[in-house]
Amino acid sequence: MRPQLYQPFRLPVRLYILLFWAAIGVAMVTTGSRSAEVNPPLGLLLLGLGLAGPGVLAVLALASGAVWARLIEPALDVRRARIHLSLILGLGAAGAVMMGLALHRLL
């Protein structure tokens, strides 16, 4: 069973999100291996960015019908897609909090 966190998005959008997460993973490993801290704030900032990015896409899709048509799979039930996007939006809010905490630690 594969995780279906980004299921409402079209396949190209899901692939871009996957590439985004892969780049974040490489950056986090690089940051962690070069840092003397146990939990470097730059890693927390990158993780928050990874959660906030799809959250922004979810906000845009929920706010605009034109963006919805471009980002969301048309075969999905609209009600279930909205609920799923609301959950992604919640993860995006958690990512924004992580980014804020990381910036507080960095500054």
Question: pLDDT per residue over 69-101, tens digit each?
Answer: 999 999 989 999 999 999 999 999 999 999 999
Q: Write the burial class of residue 3 (CB in 10 Å: 0-12 exposed, 13-18 middle, 19+ buried).
A: exposed
Show the tokens assigned to 15: 């692939």
Phi, psi values for residue 29, rounded to 5°: -65, -45
Mark out the alpha helices in the chain (DSSP H runs).
11-34, 41-63, 65-71, 78-106
Give the model's pLDDT for residue 2: 60
Give 3's pLDDT tier (boundaries 50, 70, 90). low
Per cent of the chain over pLDDT 70 is 97
Q: What are the boundaries of each domain within the chain?
A: 11-106
Q: What tens digit of pLDDT does each residue of 14-67 get? A: 999 999 999 999 999 998 888 888 778 998 999 999 999 999 999 999 999 999
